[in-house]
């Protein structure tokens, strides 16, 4: 039985994931042991991606569509509604820009 908890701790786990990410030869991904590791990692990260990336995007999409519909229809639901929806859209875009900048810098 192989213990996989080292993947999430310390330098060894980081080096392992970096080696997989930057591997020149894609044949390494066909190894059964590597596939098991990737499936193990996916089961750990799936819910983090779902809750921290996908659900906020769905919320942004709904807010953006609502805001766009209000503006396109010319309905003035009041300054507060326009301000709140616009502010939420800008806040989400700011968070995504920060995430992208962190990825670029890394």
Residue 68 and residue 48: Cα distance in Å, rounded?
A: 29
Quick check: 8 pLDDT over 90? no
> What is the CB-side half-sphere exposure of residue 103 using CA atoms within 13 A?
6
- Top pLDDT among 63 and 33 is at 63
Q: What is the mean pLDDT of residues 27-53?
A: 85
Q: pLDDT, tens digit, for every residue of 68-104?
A: 887 777 666 666 777 888 889 899 999 999 989 998 9
Q: What pTM was computed for the model? A: 0.60
């Amino acid at each position: 039985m192989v213990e996989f908890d080292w993947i999430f701790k310390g330098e060894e786990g980081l080096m392992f994931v970096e080696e997989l990410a930057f591997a020149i030869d894609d044949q390494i991904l066909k190894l059964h042991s590597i596939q098991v590791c990737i499936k193990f990692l996916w089961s750990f990260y799936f819910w983090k991606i779902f809750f921290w990336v996908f659900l906020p995007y769905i919320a942004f999409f709904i807010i953006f569509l609502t805001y766009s519909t209000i503006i396109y229809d010319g309905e003035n639901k009041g300054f507060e509604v326009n301000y709140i929806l616009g502010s939420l859209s800008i806040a989400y875009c700011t968070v995504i820009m920060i995430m992208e900048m962190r990825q670029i810098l890394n």
